[in-house]
A and B are shown apart, each in its own frame.
Chain A
Amino acid sequence: MKKLTKSEISGQVIMHIIFILATIIFLYPIILTFMSSIADETSLMRYGMRLIPAQFSLDAYRTVFSDNTILNAYLVTVLVTAIGTFLSVLICSMAGFALSIPTLKYRNKIALFFYIPMVFSAGLLPWFLASTQLYGLSNRPWALVLPMLVSPFNVFLARNYFRSIPPSLVEAAQIDGCSPMKTLISIIFPLSLPILATLGLFIGLSYWNDWSMALWFIRTPSLYPVQYMLFRIDAMMDHIRIHGAIGNMQLPTQTFRLATLFVTLGPIVLLYPFVQRYFVKGIMIGAVKG
């Protein structure tokens, strides 16, 4: 590395200052959430949010976990994410694989069928009417999975990747008597781990973070996923006030909200260092269109 000139050194210093400011903007709200969630309610009310609370207290967390509302919400989210991601990756890559076969006569017509919804949709109302009146999704757990199952974009992403695999492999498998499904699973999938991982990660993240399906369809609190429960945080507080094991004592309102917030974002922050590099790779694969 060549020696830096004076102006280059000052450039580096200025950039570091900007990035440190950015780091504060990105991390400070999260740290402050945590520090205030372990503050005592009255000291929080008196002194406002502080990096070092005047008085520590775990009351908020005790309240949050005083009944199993949040654990139940996590259970819903984990199940929905696992089932939804598995099914979505499977059926999107199945469709993508079939569409990547150059000898399939109707593949262009089918591709057209997949791409029309990308440019024209009926809008929310017809979608909502069909989902509730025809398919009876109101208040059903499947409402959290089904409407998000197929995104044409993912089908095309998979197709484009499978196209880069030499077609002779598929032909050879077929001559050996492999069915298309078996070809996909035992020959194509092992060669397509990057795209499968990308699809799985991004689909998984969108299921994990989704709150809107619950907003449209779910009315029973026991079916709330984590994100929607956070959205209904005040209703949840009322629920705990009535049903919680804490009894009738005064609930720590502010810290309760912050503790709930931290319980939902904490796991992501903890998991983040281990998964972020795979998402960065996925962004490269999805390139600009992601």
Chain B
Amino acid sequence: MPDKTAAPRPRKQGFLLEMRRNWGYYIMVLPAALVLFAFAYVPLPGLIVAFQQFNVVDAFRSPWVGLRNFEFFFLSGAAWRTTRNTMWLNFQFLIWINVISLSLAIMLNELRSNLSKKFYQNVMFLPFFFSVVIVAQLVVRVVFPDGMGIANQLVTFFGGDQVAWSREPGPWRWIIVFSGVWMAAGHQSIIYLAAISGIDNELFEASAIDGASRLKQIWHITLPMLLPTIIILTLLAIGGMLRGNFGLVWNLVYGIDRPQLGVYTDIIDTFVFRNIMTTINFSVAAAVGLYQSFVGFVLVFGSNWLVKRYEKDYALF
């Protein structure tokens, strides 16, 4: 985010002069810059592993194989499968989190009683403070265990047979979506609620004098006024479309003892993780990571370009 405000230029523009004048500031940047350099820049040359057949003995001098690792990823079908799963999950999150948190925010805003408004809002914000591990444990041990958890109590209450959830991979992608929405809806609705309270009250008063009902006001004032926020949140989400929610997926369906559930939810990030930690296939992991970063880069730039065209202030950079 370079800023364009022109600074008064000193007469002499030498590097040494600048350092002598402002060394105190440059020292202050140094710790953060060093850490970032160590964890975001130093690893970059490691990407050559993507073009090698990595083995531990030769390390970075492993034999070159050109694009074979990419070929493997794309021809084996893994690329298509993981990309589709990642985008499917992210689209579901995008749609459901926004639809639900938007409805919740609008309804909270319409509530007459301030006390219950506060109470409901606080209840729904609570999961934001839980780690994915806690949420996943709640889901796996309390809501969807094979025995009489909440899900099976509901199923049997409506006359169905108890389901052995740990042996049914099918429902788990929806369970992932539900858990993600459960975690994020309250947080997102606070953002929307803030945007709603920023709407000029005169608009509502004027339309009330003209006889508009609350529902009409929501449709013709609240929603159009929220459109910028909705569009920006959506574009930012599209920028991150290829970055999966590794923590949630890994905790819910892979974890330590339940890899059998991952058939429909193998996302790019879980694929990379398994190639690093389980099958120790570093070259494939590097290749897939590079693919993810490159496409992600294009998406972030593209969505940011759109945000910028739409409303300059909201652009990420």
Contacts and interface: CB of A to CB of B under 8 A. Distances in A.
User: Do A and B interact?
Assistant: yes
Interface of A: 1, 4, 7-8, 11-12, 15-16, 18-19, 22-23, 25-30, 32-33, 36, 45, 47-49, 91-92, 94-95, 97-99, 101-108, 110-131, 133-135, 146-147, 149-150, 152, 155-156, 179-181, 184, 205, 208-212, 216, 227-228, 230-235, 254, 257-258, 261, 264-265, 268-269, 272-273, 276, 279-280, 283-284, 287-290
B42 A211 contact: no
Given A111-B1, A130-B42, A231-B133, A146 B36 contact: no
B289 A126 contact: yes
B28 A184 contact: yes
Interface stretch (B73-81, B85-93, B147-155, B167-175): B147-155
Given A105-B7, A124-B272, A261-B138, A130 B38 contact: yes
A97 B24 CA distance: 11
17 contacts: A15-B110, A48-B149, A91-B35, A98-B25, A104-B22, A105-B10, A112-B2, A118-B317, A123-B285, A130-B43, A180-B27, A211-B131, A230-B137, A235-B256, A268-B130, A279-B129, A289-B314
Contacts of A18: 107
A4 to B, nearest CB: 7
Given A18-B107, A95-B31, A268-B130, 12 more contacts: A27-B123, A49-B149, A91-B31, A102-B5, A105-B18, A122-B290, A123-B285, A124-B269, A126-B45, A126-B49, A131-B39, A288-B314
A11 B46 CA distance: 60
Contacts of A234: 256-257
B3 to A, nearest CB: 7
A99 B142 contact: no
A108 B3 contact: yes
B40 interface: yes
A125 B33 contact: no
Given A205-B129, A268-B130, A101 B44 contact: no
Top 10 A-B pairs, shortest CB-CB distance: A123-B289, A48-B148, A126-B46, A209-B131, A126-B43, A117-B40, A95-B32, A180-B24, A108-B2, A98-B25
A158 to B, nearest CB: 10
Contacts of A146: 35, 39
Given A121-B40, A123-B289, A123-B290, A230 B133 contact: yes
Interface of B: 1-3, 5, 7-8, 10, 13, 18, 22, 24-29, 31-33, 35-36, 38-47, 49, 59, 104, 107, 110-112, 116, 119-120, 122-134, 137-139, 141-143, 147-150, 152-153, 182, 186-187, 190-191, 194, 213-214, 229, 232-233, 236, 246-247, 251, 255-257, 269, 272-273, 275-277, 282, 285-286, 288-290, 292-293, 296-297, 300-301, 314, 316-317
B26 A98 contact: yes
Contact of B2 (A111, A135, A211, A258): A111
Max chain B C-beta neighbours (<10 A), residue from A99, A105, A135, A279: A105
B196 to A, nearest CB: 13
Nearest to A206: B131
B1 to A, nearest CB: 6
B131 A261 contact: no
Contact of B153 (A48, A128, A288): A48
B236 to A, nearest CB: 8
Contacts of A92: 32
A48 B18 CA distance: 71
A105 B13 contact: yes
Given A22-B104, A92-B32, A280-B125, A231 B255 contact: yes
Max chain B C-beta neighbours (<10 A), residue from A18, A123, A228, A273: A123
A198 to B, nearest CB: 14
A73 to B, nearest CB: 12
A124 B33 contact: no
B42 A26 contact: no
Nearest to A97: B28
A283 B126 contact: no
A150 B317 contact: no
A160 B101 CA distance: 28
A195 to B, nearest CB: 16
Given A104-B22, A146-B35, A227-B131, A122 B191 contact: no
A275 B186 CA distance: 15
A137 to B, nearest CB: 10
Given A49-B142, A258-B141, A126 B47 contact: yes
Contacts of B213: 7
